[in-house]
Structure 1
Amino acid sequence: MEVSAEQINTGGTYEVFKRVLKNDSNASFLAGGIAGAISRTVVSPFERAKILLQLQGPGSAQAYHGMFPTIYKMFRDEGWRGLFRGNTLNCIRIFPYSAVQYAVFEDCKVLIEKYKTTPLTSFDRFVAASIGGVVSVAVTYPLDLIRARITVQTASLSRLMKGKLARPPGVLETLREVYQNEGGFFALYKGIVPTTLGVAPYVAINFTLYENLRSLMDNSPSDFSNPVWKLCAGAFSSFVGGVMIYPLDLLRKRYQVASMAGGELGFRYNSVSHALVSIFTSEGFLGAYKGLSANLYKIVPSMAVSWLCYDSIKDWLAHW
């Protein structure tokens, strides 16, 4: 049977594509992006509930109370679409965010190993993951800011601000409004300092704990390839990281929306230190953890699913 030139070319293209994806860095990028998009879609209602709870400042009327009541209120006020409001933008943001995070983490580990004669330590992983967190924030931050704005503008919190919108704002509309009315290009990076201060240690703790747990399991009689182990390890590592850095996560969301409607949400901050002091003094210790339960409901299953998807996709690509 003769093989046509078209079949040869097609086969050659397929092999090139296969080799490209089997490259460890490319595989990490693709697996990380897919894992991030899947995991965030699964927990989208929790993500939006967390943001709404975080943004109830001391001057607000407390439109939301508790995570599940908040989700119910979102559904009652906006229908099922309200549960996933901003998720398309979140997936567009989270794919490069997660992809860059995992790929940079893996590449940094390889780079560190090059200059070491001993195996990677927890500190090495911590540094690699921190770099991954910083780079991923820098690449995708404007989308994160716009998503936070859209979340507020379509929710009951918008009633606290002048000019309640008759329809949900679009991504480009919100982007243009921020750019034109709040300071141009740099306005799109408002809040990036507290975001980076929160994301870098969270990613570092999460990734380091997960890899250490995986190393322990690899050296134990148990089979870590079991998805349950991956889910449990991912859940535990994200829980620890989430609780430790939560006040900074709350702070970054407030920075992102503080200038909306003349600051009528009830908070204005001059700096990161001023913001933290203000939150603890005006809202108490628990004020710095407002929305924590909703955050844990989001990040724990999200990172559990993300690590499971990431490892599974990378294993599949390695054996493809």
Structure 2
Amino acid sequence: MRKQQPAPFWNPLIAGGAAGTAVDVALFPLDTIKTRLQSSRGFWGAGGFRGIYAGLASAAAGSAPGAATFFCTYESMKNALNPLVDPKRYFLVHMFAASVGEIVSCVVRVPVEIVKQRTQAGQYVTSYQALKGTLKSEGFGGLYRGYTTTVFREIPFSFIQYPVWEFLKAMWSQHQGKDVEPLQGAVCGSIAGGFSAAVTTPLDFAKTRIMLADKSSFEARSSIVAVILKVGRSEGVKKLFSGIVPRVTWISIGGFIYFGVYEAVRKFLQFST
């Protein structure tokens, strides 16, 4: 695989911010449906198809910094480690870089996810009320409930998604004898995202249950493994895959938009400098 010259730090910052905002705003209704399907109140109890844009304000506000933080970390780690690793083992670099990127970006994303999902599930009417209510009832720490769970979900997802994305791009690039175009990178991202989403749905299900749970409940005090085991025993293994269709659909389409916008903006910035 051909080595690429490291881009300036602000390239992934701007490209990542644009990609995150584009995908979260465009596909927000599907994310709402997925959240309500996973809610312990059930889809209709959590709001059904009513107010499917509830929580959009928090998602829009957090999308750019969350994605920008991830891609800055991801690209920086790749640039630092690629020269030290045999090209045949670049997938290990991609796995490690994506994992570190998720740990860092979740510092921004988890509070946004808390506010967004509680609004989506009908616990609050607006994002502001969700933020205010969470701080009042649980304090600042309440905004980070599920941080470990989210990281635990995102790392396996990224372990699969980013190496697959990079691999597909490399194979396509090798086949045509030149770097992939943004549209081609978007197709690779869609395939990688959909596959990763299906495999990690139980982790996403448990994360949603923990974030939506009452602070005194078992779920709120439990680990992701404990929640998966409890639901598997009491509600059946099938329940752990609730929301898999909108999740895979959302992330497949989202992967196309996310990686397509990222590649297009980054290419534009490279040609502009």
**So what's the TM-score if we normalise by structure 1?**
0.76
**Matched residues in 2 for 1:191 and 1:311: separation?**
31
Contact kept? 1:210, 1:234, Cα under 8 Å: yes
State the shift of 1:227 in Å. 4.9
Map Cα deviations across residues 172-204 of structure 1 (whole Å, 9 max, x no partner). Answer: x3223212212x222211111111100122123
* 2:222 alignment partner, SS class: coil
Change (3 A) 1:227 1:106: closer
Q: Secondary structure at the match of 1:218?
A: helix
Q: Of the candidates 107, 118, 126, which is equivalent to residue 86 of structure 2?
A: 118
AA partner of residue 143 (structure 1) = V
Cα distance in 2 for partners of 1:62, 1:41 equals: 21
* Counterpart-to-counterpart distance in 2, 1:316 and 1:250: 37
Match of 1:148 in 2: 117
Residue 169 of structure 1: aligned partner: 126
The question of 1:40 aligning with 2:24 is answered yes
Contact 1:133 1:204 in 2 (8 A): no
Match 2:175 to one of 206, 215, 220: 220
- Same amino acid, percent of matched pairs: 20
Q: What SS does the aligned partner of 1:24 have?
A: coil
AA at the equivalent of 2:190: A
- Counterpart of 1:149, as a letter, is R
For 1:196 and 1:181, locate their aligned partners in 2 and report how far apart those are by CA, in whole Å: 24
Instruction: Report the equivalent of 1:12.
Output: none
Alignment partner of 1:312 is 2:264: yes
In structure 2, how many angstroms separate the alpha carbons of the residues matched to 1:237 and 1:64?
33
Against the structure 1 CA distance between its residues 61 and 151, is the aligned structure 2 distance closer, same or farther, given a 3 Å change threshold?
Answer: closer
Query: Which whole-Å CA distance do the structure 2 matches of 1:309 and 1:61 have between them?
Result: 34
What displacement does 1:61 show? 5.7
Q: Does 1:244 align with 2:199?
A: yes
CA distance in structure 2 between the partners assigned to 1:24 and 1:237 by the alignment: 26
Give CA deviations for 1:154-188 in whole Å, capped at 9, x if unaligned.
Answer: xxxx6xxxxxx7xx2342x3223212212x22221
* Contact preservation (8 Å) 1:224, 1:230: no
Amino acid at match of 1:246: T
Q: Quote the Cα distance in structure 1 between the aligned partners of 2:77 and 2:209.
A: 32
Question: CA 1:271–1:245 in structure 2 vs 1: closer, same or farther (change >3 Å)?
Answer: same
Q: Deviations for 1:297-316, whole angstroms, at most 9, x for unmatched residues?
A: 21110111111111111111
**1:221, CA displacement in angstroms?**
2.5
Q: Please, which of 72, 90, 98 is the counterpart of residue 129 of structure 1? A: 98
| Structure 2 residues without counterparts, runs of 5 or longer | 1-5
The CA distance in 1 between the partners of 2:43 and 2:251, in whole Å, is 24
Report the TM-score when normalising by structure 2: 0.89
Asked whether the 8 Å contact 2:207–2:224 carries over to 1, the reply is no
Once the two structures are superposed, residues 242-272 of structure 1 have per-residue CA deviations (whole angstroms, 9 ceiling, x without a partner) of 1121111111111111017x76xx9665333
Q: Which has the larger radius of gyration?
A: 1
> Within 2, Cα distance between the matches of 1:83 and 1:223?
42
Structure 1, unmatched stretches of 5+, are 1-21, 159-164
In structure 2, C-alpha distance between the alignment counterparts of 1:63 and 1:294, rounded to whole Å: 16
Read off the aligned partner of 1:306 and give its amino acid letter. Y
CA distance in 1 between partners of 2:7 and 2:172 (Å): 26
1:125-146 residue CA offsets vs partner (Å, 9 max, x unmatched): 1111111111111233111111
Deviations 1:61-82 (A, max 9, x none): 65279xxxx9xx52xx4xxxx2
Shift of residue 284 of structure 1? 1.0
**Any conservation in 1 of the 2:182–2:263 contact (CA below 8 Å)?**
no
TM-superposed CA distance for 1:232, in Å, is 2.1
Q: How many residues align?
A: 266
The 3-state SS of whatever aligns with 1:85 is coil
Q: CA RMSD in A?
A: 2.4
Residues 1:62 and 1:206: Cα distance change in structure 2 (over 3 Å):
closer
Q: Determine if contact 1:35/1:306 at 8 Å carries over to the other structure.
A: yes
State the partner residue of 1:94. 63
Q: Whole-Å Cα distance in 1 between the matches of residues 157 and 42 of structure 2?
A: 31
